[in-house]
Structure 1
Amino acid sequence: MSAVVIVYVPCEVVRVHVRVGFGDTVSPMEDLVLRAVHAGLNEVGALEQRLGLGRRIIDDLIYDLWRHGHLTVDHRAATVAVSDQVAACVVADDMGRLGGAEAVQQPCDLMIDKLTRRVLPARGRQRPPHPRLCVPADDRRVGLEDLPQHSVLHALNEALRRTEPEEPDRTRTRIQGRSRLVQSYRIPPPGLRETMGRRWIEMKVHPHWDEEGQRLTVTVVDDLVPAELREAASERLTQLFAASPRSAVYAELRQGAQGALLEPPSAETALARLAARVERAPDIPAGRRHAWHEEMADDARQLDGLLRDRVEREMRVTTVPASDHHAVVDRLIATAHTQLVIVGPWIRYRALTGHLDALSAAVRRGVRIVLVWGADADSAYDEAMDEQTRNALEDLARQAPAGALERVVIPRTTSRTHAKLVVCDHHTALVTSRNVLSAAGDRPEVGVLLEAAAPSGPIVVSDLLGWVRSVVPSYPQSREVQVRASKDAGQESAATGPPGPADGDPARRTQASRTEPTEAQAPPALSIQPPGEHRDAEASVRVWTQGWLEHVERSRAFLEDRALPSIRLVTDDAHRSLLRHALGKATHRLVIASDGLSAEVVDQGMLGALRACLERGVHITLCYAALEHSTGTRRERYEEARTALALLRGEHPESLRILESTNHAKVLLWDDNAVVGSFNYLSFEGRYGRHRLSSELSVRLTGRAAADTVAAALGAPTPQPALGAAPPRHTSVVGSGSAYAGAQDLLSAYTPGAPPTPARLRDVLTASGDPWAVLNALGEEAPPELVRPVAAGCLSDHATATGSTASDTERWQRWLIADCWRDARYVEAAVLRHALPAPQHRPRVPLTLLAAARHTPFLTDALTELALDNPDEDERNTALAAAATAILLRGDLEALDVVNLLGAELREVWAELAEQTTTYWERAYQPIPLAQVRRALGGSERERTLDAAWQTLQRLLHHAKALTFENTTSTRTHRHLFDNVEGEFAQLTGIAGERTADGLRAWRETAEAVHDPVRLVESTGAKVSPQHPPMHGAHLKRYLNRLDPVIAQTQAVLALYGEEEGTQAALPPGAEPFGRWLASRWEALGEATAHMTGPERSLTRTFLDDIEELARWGSR
């Protein structure tokens, strides 16, 4: 059999009456009626007549709108009117703000998973296919009224979604329509509920057989079960199977049990799994990124559920020693408003009388008091309680106010429990080792006071009350235990919660509570979009990966920064499982406290596990009560275990500490986990599969501070983790998930040459809440066409927004300057550079002014300013290039002064350029006429251009001649023009073949086609076919479409001949020697420019490009 087994869990089907609304806004018909009433049609008859609707429809609409508060009805005048809100929406023409009023009542079937207490839409099998794999969970009595309202609403909405109509084709696409949403639901009273039967759902589990403990452990591994429920479900299944070892499902799972025990998922393991996936994300090839994204999103949703569950289970924790128990219990009783639950194995008059006054006052206030008692099997109330105790409890019940029934709830038979618990209302609980209503001495005890950290009350208290309800033997009395607080009662009791004893002794309260008001109560939200699937989506993949890395770091910081401990219930044989887990997993400390000691528990297996802990460096403290007056077998087992532990201590005197006293505390503590409650780990075997034993209850606290306070209460040392252990890591995370989502949104909308519109940019930046974070998420590697408007928007519109920093502002100003510089937008670069308060940042301000002044009259001023501003070597070379172009092409004398000013500091080829420029000017005293240089360069180019023009003319003539007609006149006309020697286009064909400009010029002067082609066609048609009408209509239009390009091309050819330079003026003296020198040193100038390292290189290249034609002319 496979390691994973599918079992079948029973679900109770419940019918609920639901009110379902349609749409998020008013329907078109509701909109019409509201506008009509607002316009003055305020009588039903007038609406019926004007709108053309039946009276029944009008009545239903008015009723729904009135019920929803959109209409008011004047019964005396028989008129209706719109509410103020509706009137405002009509005036503003914004009816979308109004919720829809249409609603229907309908039944809906839900089912309750009896294992995890989930609420689901009714589905699954009516009969399990394999009856031997059915989970025996029928003993759990649970109704919808016991479950959170939000869970029921979620299940109802999911049931509605599944009934939405779908396309009948293979795709099963949902048909779009008005959305349906549950507005409210009603559960029938118990006597009127219909029996809807049962369904069975599949659940994947992994069974493990512990050979040493001879115990079957089951772990839920089904992905359909929320991660935060799997641990509780695993514990429950393990307990169910231990209680029924002869069942068929136990035999099946025992047969399939193999491999190592699988741990239920924790937030830490889920985070590690997600981090491992994110680490591989950059290497995922195109085509698989969306699938990988969905897998990471599934892991993130699981992590989110686990983190939220952890937050819901956080409480303020205070350790309570024996001396404080009486005062704490009295405070809990005195501050109770609705309900007080006390659980203990025994009730003794001596201990009860110490709390009777407080209990009586609570009963008179109307508080319901539930006393759960009985550790032995088959004990009746009259037999277990002495007469004094019974009389005191009956007197207590009689003090309830008149008409208040069952204010004191006491089961009439034993509850078979060894738990010790006090719960005040729904916000505070005391879980302890002390027997609250029977202990009278001062033996060492340890309890924990759990107080709600949030006003709404924690899920932990509800779990405790649910456990109390499950152990009350009488079903009617168990329903008296209110598992969840009503809204009003919950707010009242939470507002006046009892102060713990640690208010006067901060050492016993978890130190983390000092920072609890600043804790984030919600995990980081996931808002990451998948990247593009194309191969060149590097920027999109980078933003996607960074977004996931940021989410992982935020989740890790959220988890590590949790200041309050997380609380979970531990019941029955789960204590023994946790003991084995602690023995195997402890890394630096282990503390076990128990009332008594027995060789049945401290056997060779446990001694071996303790020895293994000690050998790997774990510090162990064992606290137990010395057995002073017992005799017989119990005494023998105590001495045997005591001797074995003494021998073990002799082997490890530094690491094993044994505290033998009158201890009554029950604690299991390892590393950062502490379990406090009623289970005796060193004296009680707790094999629930063999016998019907008394129930046990503890709470598991997860958190370093809470574990330290419990250890201190026991007198155990607090060793620190080994030096090799990694300290808590807090990564500083900048930005938010919405920033990366906004960046990905912009990248998805971007296509080269078509960046997102300004409106889209504005919407994305506004929606993110932090535009600077979006910009930083895009980064400098994103397409500049996209980054440019985002950076400009942040600098111009959000310079003082939250999230902006001076470093970010300067960074993106510099980026924009560099971007403009790369694109030769020098004026924009100069404006931005003036706004940057960094004088030495390159390009410096004088250089940007020089670049902006290129090809303007202000170039000389900019040159002079740069030359006088102590330029460095690269700036001097750039200034020389600019000055040389100004002298050579414009004859600027002031630029010559700049060359003379810089000449002494120039090197190599730059010095040669300065010298040659000066020499040319001293010979010519005029600029080089660039037009003449271009004409000299253009000879060969002009020939190629003319050749191409003649070829185009020949191609157009051939295209026109190839035209055919179905009409005889049109055909004859066409042949005469193109085939007859007298035809104008036949003559043009000959000229194009000879390529004579004079012939083409003469043709254009005499050809009728140039002046009036329509008349040419008509006259030719009359000549060749005098008895028929000339070419006309569509034939003529199609013909002219072929002739017109031919005629236009003749003009284009002649225009090229018109550009002949004729007699050229002579170039200035010295131009040719300078051109030859420039051509010989052009490569050296390019190499010298390439050696520049800053923005001066591109600007120098730009200035040299202005005289490139001189270099080409000189190389002829």
Structure 2
Amino acid sequence: MSETTLVALPCRVITLRVELGSEEGASTLEELVLAAVAGGRTTVDSLGDLFSLPRRLMLDVVHALWSRGFLAVDFTSHTLEGTPAAEAVLGDGDGAQTVATSVDARKFLFDPVTETILPYRDGSVRAPLGALEMPVARGVSAEDLPQTELLRAVRRAVAEDRRDRGVRRRVLNVSFTNPVLSPPEAVRWSTVEVVVKRDPGSGQIAAVPVEAPPGWGRRGAQLFQAHITHLLHTRPESAFVKKLLNRQVPEVVRPDTLKELIRDLEQLAEGLDEAPELPDLPGRHHALEIRTNQLREQISEARRSRCGAQRVAPGAGVGYVVGDLIDRAEHQLVLAAPTIAYEALNPLLPGIEEALKRGVTLVLLWGDHPSAKLEPRSETALFDLKARYAGKVLLEKRSSSSAASLLICDNRAAYVGSRGFLSAETGAGVLVEPSEDTDTPPLCVADLLSWVRRVYPYWDTAQSIAIAPDDFGRTGRGVPAEPARWWRWGPPELPEGWDEDPVGFQVGWAAAWGRVLRELVDAVNDVHRGADPVVRAVWDGAYAEVVGRLVASAGERLAVTDDRAEHEACDETLAVRLRRLREAGGVVHLQHPSLSGGRRTATAYDALLKALKTDGTLRVGKARARAVLSDHEMVAGSHHPVGHGATRPGQGAVAQVGLHIVGTSFTADFARELGIPEWFGAAGDSGGPGPEYHPTAGVFAAIPLDDDPWTALAQRERAGRGAEELRRYAAALLMGQGGGESQGDAEGPGDAEGPGDAEGPGGTEEQGTDPHHADPLHSGSHPADPHRSDSERWSRWLLEDAWRRGAFMEAYLLTPLLGGGPGALSVELAAVALPLEHGPFGEQLFFSTLALEAAPPEQRTVALAGAVAEMLLHGGDTGRLACRHLTEGAPAAGLPTAWLELARAARACFE
């Protein structure tokens, strides 16, 4: 195991006003909801309309009441109804339950790096001995968290706290107390144990938690790693970074992406299509469940992050978008530009002033380094606005040290570019807005507003920058809805006793996982090829991580474009990555100005430039945007992929911001803006949705989805199970007993919407009239039966097995029941062999012999043997008459001489 490192994170002590109620009782709002349901409001939407609350909040209330037994849900009509427990709450008598609430001021810890709230007792006054103390981060404050997230985080922290303290109270509401009770200098330390890894291929440094602390979640882990990356880039000389680098171990850093999770599932799914009995099936099942849940969580997050996005051309395109966003602003307008040229600002001043007259708040960020200065004419014009519209213009004489080119209109739309939109060379950019079919503000815009608060020069003033939906007058409108369950198939269950019949269980289990995994692949493909792309705001360390990952993970095509190039970035490491992709058959596009400074270009990079020039994919000159395009996704913004880093020599860190966009169509469209007309070849040039996104090599498609008893029977045969077991299951299926019923036959149509609609190892299954278990006595009348061939095969197997064992009575009884197909053994043949096992058979033997007189010699030989047995073993005239018929005339032709002699000798004894 790799050596671990303890990292201490400084957390701010905050005091919150927490409203607590009985764990079993109902809150005031919950009582009102119960009363409304009793009064006829039986749907979530009608309850939301009644209380004027967002649907997401109302779903939380209904779910809480349902989970504690106050409400019942009719999944057929999707309506709610009260339970006896609800009647006890709403009763007027002495026995009615009361709502016991109390309000306490409680201390918590807020970690600005991971944006999590922790129990106060989890922190310590001093960092543990030997732990690496992370510098105090200037991240978001607890006040920046949305109310629903704050309430959820506090509930989680209280639940974690009460496990040890035994306090059985439930958090009903949370609010902030007087700021005096939460001084910013009050700090306690929390810890996380990590492994510091350095990826041998990419050189990426990652601090991977051994076990994520409670409350972090996936987003917390991402924010933690992004902050580590930011410190590595901006404070390489700090004691924390130096100590961290001293603990590094060479190990591959696994990116937390959809593609990687699909690859994990692909490895876990190997063998599901062929192995009759998998080793360690419970372990495989548990691993599949974990990865499936992680993938579903990421897909759900991606679906929530979708929004409308358009590429914006340089010059006139950027000018139109900027003017339009200024005119549309209703509450707040954010302008961030590294430089503000008066020639570009002056045409916008009338529109900005009109917005201020409408009551819009203007937030201005400028300067890409601490010592930057505003152009005198621009400074005069902007500070004149601040003086005339006091309190409506947030503008400082201090630089924001940001390279961002950003314009945000309220919380609904934003333009993100590479070069300043208030300069002579605007470059290309991206406009994000709500999707056409929704009024929901994009989540990435809210994240961009949060970033603006982070980089504003003065923290106190930054707190007045609007972020929450309520700040924009959109309470109850445009609030993100609770994500619906998008998947159809639930993972199979692993019940106790599954190993009593491992082969039969595994058939349904593997088929159920096959459906789940194929659905996940389709969902991942939809994320990339949906009508709207997935758009996420990235900045600083997270931005640098995305750039590095896209370059390293490109599979078929990659484009790196910049308007600046420096030797530090155009090094051998980058050259090796691009060369490997090119040698593997990928297409590499590269555009940046010539390297200057009189320094010698790295040999490997120089060779790469020559190779790309030969391919025709190298362009020398300033690119329209600083971007990295990798297969079906891209990132664009202020960060230079091959330019300077996150710091300027002697001037400290420079804040960077951009958009990470996942979408096949948008990536191809933006490539055209960069001068790459055929990003996906002919598909990209057609303007269509582009090629399919195939994250797997076809392992999932090979998993059989048949979980019927016939497939289980075939798997038993492949597993080498004994003939007695095969005989039992085959007979049960063919006779319509046992095996068919054990799979949960359905008598009518059904669906797969709920996780418990069908029982068995397959979990959620689509029900319907089952052709697998049709009446075998009449199976011959169903030529469309997809398993007719299975039925015929196992019918022959059973009969041949009976003949091999000399079970002639069994063969005689089975033959008419199983039906005769082409080449099947006849009832008459089974009849004439019966005396070899049982007798006397009587006249049926003679009639069956007559029916076989034109049969092949082999079958007439069997009839002769049966006649001899009937005559010698059981007596009577039937055997003698049958013998005479078979040994004289045409029926005796072709019969073995030995059998004829035996039959004649036997006849001589009775005649």
Once the 2 structures are TM-superposed, how far is the Cα of residue 163 of structure 1 from its aligned partner? 1.6
Amino acid across the alignment from 2:142:
G
Which residue in 1 is equivalent to 2:516? 551
CA–CA distance in 1 between the matches of 2:232 and 2:121?
Answer: 25
Label 1:491 to 1:345 Cα distance change in 2 as closer, same or farther (>3 A).
same
Q: Distance in 1 between matches of 2:864 and 2:204?
A: 97
User: Compared with structure 1, are the counterparts of its residues 686 and 897 closer, same or farther at alpha carbon in structure 2 (3 Å cutoff)?
Assistant: same
Residues 249-286 of structure 1, C-alpha deviations (whole Å, 9 max, x = no match): 22321221231562432222223223323437898999
Residue matched to 2:401: 416
CA gap 1:385/1:608 in 2 versus in 1, 3 angstroms:
same
Q: 1:707 aligns with which of 662, 667, 675?
A: 667
Instruction: Name 1:313's counterpart in structure 2.
Output: 305
Please give the secondary structure, in 2, of the residue aligned with 1:271: helix
Distance in 2 (CA, whole Å) between partners of 1:916 and 1:608 is 82
Please state if 1:678 is matched with 2:638: yes
Aligned with 1:788: secondary structure?
A: helix
Given residue 143 of structure 1, which amino acid in structure 2 is its aligned partner? A
| Unaligned residue ranges in structure 1 (runs of 5+) | 39-64, 71-84, 167-173, 399-405, 498-517, 627-634, 744-779, 818-828, 852-861, 924-929, 934-1066, 1078-1087, 1089-1113
Taking a change above 3 Å as real, the CA distance of residues 263 and 253 of structure 1, as seen in their structure-2 partners, is same
Task: Return the alpha-carbon distance in structure 2 between the equivalents of residues 1074 and 416 of structure 1.
Answer: 113
The 5 Å alignment of 1:1018-1033 reads none
Alignment size in residue pairs: 765
Which structure 2 segments of 5+ residues have no match? 39-64, 71-78, 683-691, 713-731, 759-764, 800-812, 885-894, 896-908
Is 1:877 matched with 2:859?
no
CA distance in 2, matches of 1:792, 1:289: 22
The offset of 1:419, in angstroms, is: 0.7
The residue correspondences of 1:609-620 to structure 2 (distance < 5 A) are 619-620=587-588
CA distance in 2, matches of 1:468, 1:161: 33
One of 220, 235, 238 as aligned partner of 2:229: 238
User: For residue 448 of structure 2, what is the aligned residue in structure 1?
Assistant: 464
State yes or no: 1:8 paired with 2:8. Answer: yes
Alpha-carbon spacing, 1:390–1:271, altered in 2? closer, same or farther (3 Å): same
Contact in 1 for aligned 2:492/2:509 (Cα 8 Å): no
Q: Where does residue 694 of structure 1 map in the other structure?
A: 654
Secondary structure of 2:597's aligned partner: helix
Query: 1:223 aligns to what SS in structure 2?
Result: coil
Equivalent positions of 1:260-339 (< 5 A) are 260=251, 262-279=253-270, 290=282, 293-322=285-314, 323-339=316-332
Match of 1:591 in 2: 559
The answer on whether the counterparts of 1:547 and 1:737 sit within 8 Å (CA) in structure 2 is: no
TM-score after normalising by structure 1 = 0.56
- Is 1:473–2:473 an aligned residue pair? no
The whole-number CA distance in structure 2 between the counterparts of 1:148 and 1:737 is 48
Alignment partner of 1:422: what SS?
strand
For residue 291 of structure 2, give the secondary structure of its aligned residue in structure 1: helix
- Partner residue, 1:1060: none
Instruction: Tell whether 2:760 aligns with 1:798.
Output: no
Asked whether the equivalents of residues 228 and 305 of structure 1 are also in contact (C-alpha less than 8 Å), the reply is no
**Aligned position for 2:191:** 202
SS of the aligned residue for 1:665 comes to coil
Closer/same/farther in 2, CA of residues 529 and 409 from structure 1, 3 Å limit: farther
1:654 match: secondary structure: helix
Alignment map for 1:60-209 (pairs within 5 Å): 102-107=99-104, 108-126=106-124, 127-130=126-129, 133-147=132-146, 149-150=148-149, 152-157=151-156, 159-160=158-159, 162-164=161-163, 181-191=170-180, 193=182, 197-207=186-196
Bigger helix share: 1
Within 1, Cα distance between the matches of 2:601 and 2:188? Answer: 50
Q: 1:472 Cα shift?
A: 0.5
**Residue from 208, 211, 233 that aligns with 1:220:** 208
Kept in 2, the 8 Å contact 1:7–1:205? The answer is: yes
Local SS of the residue matching 1:9: strand
Deviates more, 1:568-577 or 1:136-145: 568-577
RMSD: 6.0
* Cα distance change of structure 1 residues 493 and 329 upon mapping to structure 2, 3 Å threshold: farther
SS in 1 for 2:174: strand
CA–CA separation in structure 2 for the residues paired with 1:199 and 1:284:
56
Matches within 5 A, 1:245-264: 245-260=236-251, 262-264=253-255
- 8 Å CA contact retained: 1:289, 1:533: no
- Residue 471 of structure 1 deviates from its aligned partner by 0.6
Per-residue deviation at 1:133? 0.5
Amino acid at match of 1:692: G
**Which residue is equivalent to 2:628?**
668
Letter in 2 for 1:451: E
Aligned pair partner of 1:387 in 365, 380, 390: 380
Amino acid at match of 2:521: R
- The one-letter code of the counterpart of 2:493 is I
CA distance in structure 2 between the partners assigned to 1:901 and 1:737 by the alignment: 45
Contact 1:666/1:681 (CA < 8 Å) preserved in 2? Answer: yes
Matched residues in 1 for 2:786 and 2:252: separation? 67
Contact 1:417 1:696 in 2 (8 A): yes
User: Relative to structure 1, is the Cα distance of residues 316 and 560 closer, same or farther in structure 2, using a 3 angstrom cutoff?
Assistant: same
- Against the structure 1 CA distance between its residues 163 and 571, is the aligned structure 2 distance closer, same or farther, given a 3 Å change threshold? closer
Distance in 2 (alpha carbons) for counterparts of 1:477 and 1:782: 80
Structure-1 separation of matches of 2:787 and 2:739: 25
> Residues 718 and 221 from structure 1, CA distance in 2 versus in 1: closer, same or farther, beyond 3 angstroms?
farther
Structure 1 position 366 matched with structure 2 position 354: no
SS at match of 2:466: coil
Q: Relative to 1, partners in 2 of residues 1:594 and 1:24: Cα closer, same or farther, differing over 3 Å?
A: same
**Alpha carbons 2:12, 2:187 under 8 Å: kept:** yes
Once residues 737 and 122 of structure 1 are traced to their aligned partners in structure 2, the CA distance between those partners, rounded to angstroms, is: 54
8 Å Cα contact 2:22/2:169 also seen in 1: yes
1:428–1:449 contact (8 Å) kept in structure 2: yes
CA pair 538-247 structure 1, distance change in 2 beyond 3 A? same
Does residue 702 of structure 2 align to residue 788 of structure 1?
A: no
Change (3 A) 1:232 1:916: closer
**Letter of the structure 1 residue corresponding to residue 772 of structure 2:** W
Distance across 2 between alignment mates of 1:580 and 1:920 = 86
The alpha-carbon deviation at position 557 of structure 1 amounts to: 2.3
Q: State the 1:715 CA deviation.
A: 0.7
Alpha-carbon distance in structure 2 between the residues aligned to 1:913 and 1:705: 73
- Give the conservation status (yes or no) of the 8 Å contact 1:9–1:202: yes
Whether the 8 Å CA contact 1:573–1:688 is kept in 2: the answer is no
Q: Distance in 2 between matches of 1:372 and 1:736?
A: 57
Which structure carries more relative contact order (alpha carbon 8 Å, separation 6+)? 2
Shift of 1:529: 3.2
Deviations 1:551-583 (A, max 9, x none): 333222211221244434443466666666566
In the alignment, the residues of structure 2 paired with residue 86 and residue 227 of structure 1 have an alpha-carbon distance, to the nearest angstrom, of: 33
Question: In 2, distance between residues paired with 1:429 and 1:695?
Answer: 18
Name which of 340, 357, 375 aligns with 2:333: 340
Q: Cα gap change, 1:797/1:595 in structure 2, threshold over 3 Å: closer, same or farther?
A: closer
- Whether the aligned pair in 1 keeps the contact of 2:835 and 2:869 (CA below 8 Å) is no
TM-score (norm 2): 0.67
On the 8 A contact 2:199/2:250 being kept in 1, the answer is no
Conservation of the 8 A alpha-carbon contact between 1:344 and 1:421: yes
Q: How far is 1:141 from its partner?
A: 4.3
Q: C-alpha distance in 2, partners of 1:312/1:464?
A: 16
Distance in 1, Cα, partners of 2:564 & 2:80: 74
Partners of 1:783 and 1:100 lie apart in 2 by 59
The SS at the match of 1:561 is helix
Contact (CA 8 Å) 2:750, 2:767: kept in 1 or not? no
Change (3 A) 1:237 1:917: closer
Measured in 2, the distance between the counterparts of 1:109 and 1:24 equals 25
Contact 2:305 2:442 in 1 (8 A): yes
Q: Which amino acid aligns with 1:470?
A: R
* Alignment map for 1:675-824 (pairs within 5 Å): 675-687=635-647, 691-716=651-676, 718=678, 720=680, 727=694, 787-789=739-741, 793-794=745-746, 796-798=747-749, 809=769, 811-814=771-774, 816-817=775-776
